[in-house]
Amino acid sequence: MLYISAGPDDIGRLVEQMRKAGIDQPIFGGDGYDTPLLVETAGVAAHDTYFTTHAFLDPSQAPPVVQQFIADYETEYGVPPETAFAALAYDAVMLIASAIERADSAKQKDIAGALERTGDFPGVTGSINFAPAVHIPDKEVTIVHIVGDERTLAAIIQRRTGQRLSEYLRPRLLDPLGIGDVGWQCWPAGRELGFSGLFARTEDVAKLGQLYLQRGRWGKDHLFPETYVEVATYPQISTSAMENPDWRQGYGYQFWMARHGYRGDGAFGQFSLVLPEQDAVVAMTGGTEATQTVLDHVWDHLLPGLGSASPDETALPELEERLCRLQLPARRTQPSPVRWEDWTAAPFPVTSARDPSSRTTIASVAVARADDRLEVTISERDNTMSFAVANGEWLVSEPRDVHGDVVPVAGSGGWLDEQTFLAVGFDLVVEELEMPAQVRADDVRL
């Protein structure tokens, strides 16, 4: 291993120079490495770099208290915090404020005594504890390992081209496959993650699997080399210690090997199963943590039919008819309350938005009458959108948020009783059922 002590302005250049000199062993360092300049300057040369820091400010992986800090920071300053030093400064100020409050005094000696008695202070950078006469806090440390993965590659592409990753991929991948609008989670603001957070339709997930089944060929074109498919779908990493059988088969380049074929995984049961032996692709979108159970059902019930030498000619029309009858019924509710003034006087603050353990970013919900329908307004810290809802059916509209972005929504809502209003919004772009909001006269529950 190689340990380099350096500050944020130098570490990217130093790491790049080490790699160019042929030094390929892991590089270690301290919190001076905690800067976007490391990856932006060194690029893929930053691969296999380790550093210790105070907190990992990544909203896609951070605990709720860190996610809340990132959201509040971005609301206040317009940009997300670049490094953990912002959280460290916040904790320092809040720690002193807590000591003053506990000491009930502004005298230096009293505040110092309260600081020494601090235990389990819930900081953004972790739980903070002081022992008597020991002025170095006992707290967690975060170890970050940088690998030259798809997130690094996504950051490099976007920095070098000046385009979002989806814009870069549009003529090279998305348009040739006939994939329409997609959404991609960003962090920091404006930089699409690359490794996760892509919102697309189920048929688009199937197209990506089909592209790999056809070994990079789409129509008359090769969108990427056949040799890449061979490498990407071959186990590069052993995963034999994992609990579930379909996660023990190895991992390639963004593909898990499976008991049958290989697959691309998304969070909570999004799958693109590629089955070369059956010349088939199975795409699934859903919302479950029982992902092994989902795959078990595919292997037990669907896979035997794919290998049948004599298909049932009546099965397809029956399936098509059944699929045409599928629907998501809207809940029947009361169309209006007895007293409108109880509901329209002011927005309802979302209590859970002030709870550090909450995962919601919604700050308030408002209900209003609009002609012959109801209108629900959802407000986040930096965004607001209103959409129409109908009673007992879905009402489709195309509202704009404060940034001018159009979000097609199907909405349904009404009163469950005199104290409870229920609204459900269905985002038609990403085909995702959003969490329903229950508004009570004294509370809002999501």
Residue 309's pLDDT is 65
CA separation for the pair 217, 192 (Å, rounded): 26
What is the per-residue pLDDT for 100?
A: 94
For the chain, what's the residue count? 446
Tell me the helix, strand and coil percentages in the chain, rounded to 5: 35, 25, 40
Query: Shortest CA distance to 446 belongs to which of 356, 351, 335?
Result: 351
Q: Is the pTM of this model over 0.75?
A: no
Give, in order, the Cα–Cα distances in Å from 283 to each of 209, 275, 307, 324.
Answer: 8, 11, 18, 18
The secondary element (H helix, E strand) that includes residue 320 is helix 315-325
| 10-residue averages of pLDDT along the chain (446 residues) | 89 89 88 83 80 78 80 84 88 92 91 88 87 77 76 78 91 94 77 83 93 95 91 88 92 92 90 95 89 95 80 81 85 87 86 50 84 86 86 88 80 87 69 45 44
Q: Can you name the residues that pair with 144 across neighbouring β-strands? A: 51
146's CB contacts (< 8 A; 6+ apart) are 38, 39, 46, 47, 48, 49, 50, 51, 152
DSSP per-residue string spanning 365-398: EEEEEETTEEEEEEEESS-EEEEEEBSSS-EEE-
Q: How far apart are CA 242 and CA 240, in angstroms?
A: 6
| pLDDT for the residue numbered 442 | 47
Q: Report how far apart the first and last C-alpha atoms of the chain are (Å, whole number).
A: 49
Question: Residue type at 408?
Answer: P
Q: What is the pLDDT of residue 434?
A: 42
The 3-state DSSP class for residue 109 equals helix
Distance of CA 13 to the CA centre of its chain: 31
